[in-house]
């Protein structure tokens, strides 16, 4: 009988503070709040709140019944992520505690279950910043929020089952390419009969290779490696064609399937070398940004669809080839999407500068193991981060983290992000945060990878004046030019993709670090246009001014002055009104190592007191007009745009989508100083996750729409005090009931 995995993300009950006796099955929980998972223990404003508001202990209860036909199997509860520590009870019995908010954990429920009646899980969640658990103990420049913020499932398996599978492609570019399938088995059956382990490599319904072995796993933990060889031609996983295969493993006894386990893999060779980074034997300059997995209003408690959307933004909107998961393992749904779309990942353990005592370090070493065991099959991951971000050297500690990483996975290199060049290197790749400007340091190690720049040294908001927002874009381009010009740099990961909530010791005094090239709602600032412009025109033709169009927003007035324009065109024509003022070529003299150097126009000036005209930019490729962008001189808020990321959601009480609010001129160009309290009215099976009225900042903002447990049609009316009302409609499909 094969395994069964049943999500239990609905029908939870929540209460804070904890109540004595709440773990007992007979406890009266009728007054508790019904919630779904992912869940944040406290919804908050998107800025200017006190982070102590979510730092408390709370309780979650879940009643469930088991399918009677599965009696005799082993039952586990699997938690994907609970912030920060969890103590778990089943039917009044304490199973144990787990410390750490970013890695998964499980408890076996089998001895304590009622197969014919009600069972009750109780999870006590401590969301305080406990100094004994990474990343805490010092100051950290991000918020962790609280609650059961990732998914929960019941896993029902045979007495002997497959605990994990690492399907490792080997010699991908050689003639002996193969997959070494490491199968980890667990048995509590002391009298288990001989069994057979079978592994298959599949491409859709086609079986490409198979291997099998007899195993005897009576009452212990056992490891078996099966090799899938003689593969012939296979499709490589790369950025443009991220082909995924499936490895299926079965445990059989007397011809019957006892357990099964499936993973997705990709065949790719990823390696940092003295000549830079190579993917499948081809040199690739890494161009990335750092990502925090937090969101306005609910912190980290966003469902899979929203987590995946971030990967899509990074790859398709910002045109990146890599993301760093600063500073902790991130959502499995996010990583799955990176696999599917061809976005490389540098993943690292939780931490920020501080190293705690020996017990703290032991947890961090466990974090390395848990991160790798969870994510070792993701082809998108090319580097394991095994050092606490920006921490000082600690030879014994980091010798342990590197040893664990190499023992678990010898196919990937390790890195460890520091912020000083004299650091001892125990990892394979010298990964460093270098915020020097205008010139970053020369590589001091053959394998050199810049993992942060710009960021906190130049925070920028939508509402900043034209000089600052343009300088923000210029600085990102300037550093990437230096990285591109020297093959010894593997590339760089700017700080950062999105603005994020932070502690009061950091940021702009409102609990936000405005370090992103996009804001906290994932809405791009002008600097995002630089990253977007570096894609091949065959992917998308990009034309993004790095400035606002106004006569007097620059010191001294007279328009933007010299305007930076980010584009992958090879020629631009610039018109002010009907007058052609410039014909531009990319600035190859200063940015010649970039795939697509920015353009600069010195003629974007006006005379104070004279009439100000519209701006028109025409882009050309090979002499052919391919794109146009206009910006109005009127200085009037003309259009309201309201758009949802998704038109169809699942009515499970969990699914969500972002709704972006924007005020523009008549051409669709941003109005960075537009305001307005947006009134939001929702009809149908959903709720608004956000504020209503919502006050626009920099002419933009966003809320999320969350479904209720029902099907139907959501109608969101968004009303601006001047520009009227826009309607967004979202179809909500019926969701199947949870089994347990």
Question: Catalytic site residues?
Answer: 390, 452
Q: Are 656 and 303 in contact (CB under 8 A)?
A: yes
Rg (CA), the chain: 27
Nearest to 75 by CA among 108, 34, 97, 46: 108
In whole angstroms, give the CA distance from residue 281 to residue 288: 20
Q: How long a stretch of residues is the chain?
A: 740
State the angle between helix axes of 395-408 and 358-375 in degrees (0 to 180), rounded to the nearest 10.
20
Distance CA 653, CA 708 (A): 4
Which of 691, 674, 669, 673 is closest to 682 using CA atoms?
Answer: 691
Q: Is the peptide bond before 38 cis (omega within 30 degrees of 0)?
A: yes
Tally of CA atoms within 13 A in the half-sphere of 4 that contains its CB: 15
Is residue 721 within 8 A of residue 674, CB to CB? The reply is no
Helix axes 526-533, 466-485, angle to 10 degrees: 30
Angle between helices 332-341 and 304-312 (to 10 degrees): 40
CA distance 328 to 389: 9
DSSP state of 317: I
Look at residues 477, 612, 619 and name the one whose alpha carbon lies nearest to residue 543: 619
* Dihedral angle computed from the Cα positions of residues 332, 338, 341 and 344, in that order, rounded to the nearest 10 degrees: -160
Handedness of CA 317, 321, 325, 327 (dihedral sign): negative
d(CA 707, CA 273) in angstroms, rounded, equals 48
Burial string for 657-684 (b: 16+ CB within 10 Å, else e) reads bbbbbbbbbebebbbbbbbbebebebeb
């Amino acid at each position: 009988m094969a395994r069964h995995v049943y999500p239990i993300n609905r029908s939870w009950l929540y209460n804070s503070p904890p109540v004595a006796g709440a773990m007992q099955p007979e406890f009266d929980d009728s007054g508790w709040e019904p919630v779904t998972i992912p869940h944040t223990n406290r919804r908050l404003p998107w800025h200017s709140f006190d982070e102590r508001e979510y730092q408390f202990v709370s309780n979650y209860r879940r009643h469930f019944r088991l399918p009677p036909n599965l009696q005799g199997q082993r039952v586990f509860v699997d938690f994907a992520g609970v912030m920060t520590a969890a103590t778990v009870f089943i039917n009044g019995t304490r199973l144990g505690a787990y410390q750490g908010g970013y890695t998964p954990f499980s408890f076996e429920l089998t001895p304590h279950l009622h197969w014919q009646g009600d069972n009750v899980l109780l999870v006590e969640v401590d969301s305080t910043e406990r100094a004994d658990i990474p990343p805490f103990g010092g100051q950290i420049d991000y918020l962790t929020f609280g609650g059961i913020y990732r998914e929960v499932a019941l896993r029902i398996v045979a007495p002997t089952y497959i605990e994990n599978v690492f399907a490792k492609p080997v010699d991908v570019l050689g003639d002996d390419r193969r997959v070494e399938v490491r199968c980890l088995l667990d048995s509590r059956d002391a009298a288990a009969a001989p069994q057979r382990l079978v592994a298959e490599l599949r491409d859709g319904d086609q079986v490409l290779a198979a291997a099998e072995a007899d195993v005897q796993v009576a009452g212990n933990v056992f490891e078996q490696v099966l090799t899938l060889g003689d593969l012939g031609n296979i499709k490589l996983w790369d950025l443009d064609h991220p082909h995924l295969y499936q490895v299926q493993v079965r445990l059989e006894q007397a011809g019957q399937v006892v357990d099964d386990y499936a993973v997705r893999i990709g065949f790719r060779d990823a390696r940092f070398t003295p000549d830079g980074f190579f993917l499948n034997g081809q040199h690739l300059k890494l161009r990335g940004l750092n990502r925090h997995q937090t969101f306005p209003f609910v912190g980290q408690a966003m469902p899979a669809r929203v987590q995946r959307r971030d990967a899509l933004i990074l790859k398709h909107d910002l045109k990146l080839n890599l993301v760093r998961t600063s500073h902790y393992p991130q959502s499995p749904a996010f990583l799955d999407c990176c696999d599917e779309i061809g976005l490389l990942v540098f993943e690292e353990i939780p931490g920020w500068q501080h190293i705690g005592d020996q017990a703290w370090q032991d947890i961090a070493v466990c974090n390395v193991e848990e991160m790798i065991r969870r994510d070792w099959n993701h082809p998108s991951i090319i580097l394991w981060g095994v050092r606490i971000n920006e921490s000082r050297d600690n030879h014994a500690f980091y010798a342990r983290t590197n040893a664990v990483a190499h023992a678990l996975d010898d196919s990937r290199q390790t890195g460890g992000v520091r912020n000083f060049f004299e650091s001892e290197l125990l990892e394979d790749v010298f990964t460093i945060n270098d915020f020097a400007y205008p010139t970053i340091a020369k590589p001091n190690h053959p394998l050199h990878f810049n993992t942060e720049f710009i960021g906190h040294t130049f925070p920028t908001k939508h509402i900043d004046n034209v000089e600052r927002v343009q300088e923000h874009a210029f600085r990102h381009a300037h550093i990437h030019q230096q990285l591109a010009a020297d093959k010894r740099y593997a590339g760089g990961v700017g700080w950062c993709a999105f603005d994020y909530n932070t502690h009061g010791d950091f940021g702009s005094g409102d609990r936000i670090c405005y370090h992103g090239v996009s804001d906290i709602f994932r809405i791009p600032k002008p600097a995002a246009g630089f990253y977007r412009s570096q894609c091949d025109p065959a992917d998308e033709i990009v034309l993004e001014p790095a400035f606002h169009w106004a006569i007097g927003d620059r010191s001294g007035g007279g328009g933007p002055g010299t305007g930076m324009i980010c584009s992958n065109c090879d020629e631009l024509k610039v018109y002010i009104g009907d007058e052609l003022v410039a014909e531009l070529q990319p600035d190859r003299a200063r940015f010649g190592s970039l795939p697509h150097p920015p353009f600069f126009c010195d003629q974007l000036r006006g005379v104070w007191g004279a009439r100000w005209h519209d701006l028109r930019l025409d882009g050309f490729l090979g002499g052919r007009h391919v794109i146009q962008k206009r910006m109005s001189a009127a200085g009037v808020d003309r259009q309201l745009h309201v758009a949802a990321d998704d038109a169809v959601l699942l009515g499970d009480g969990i699914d969500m989508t972002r709704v972006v609010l924007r005020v523009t001129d008549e051409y669709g160009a941003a109005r960075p100083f537009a305001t307005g309290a947006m009134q939001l009215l929702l009809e149908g099976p959903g709720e608004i996750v956000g504020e209503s009225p919502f006050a626009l900042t920099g002419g933009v903002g966003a809320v999320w729409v969350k479904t209720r447990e029902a099907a139907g049609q959501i109608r969101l009316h968004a009303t601006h005090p001047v520009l009227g009302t826009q309607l967004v409609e979202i179809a909500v499909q019926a969701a199947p009931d949870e089994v347990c």
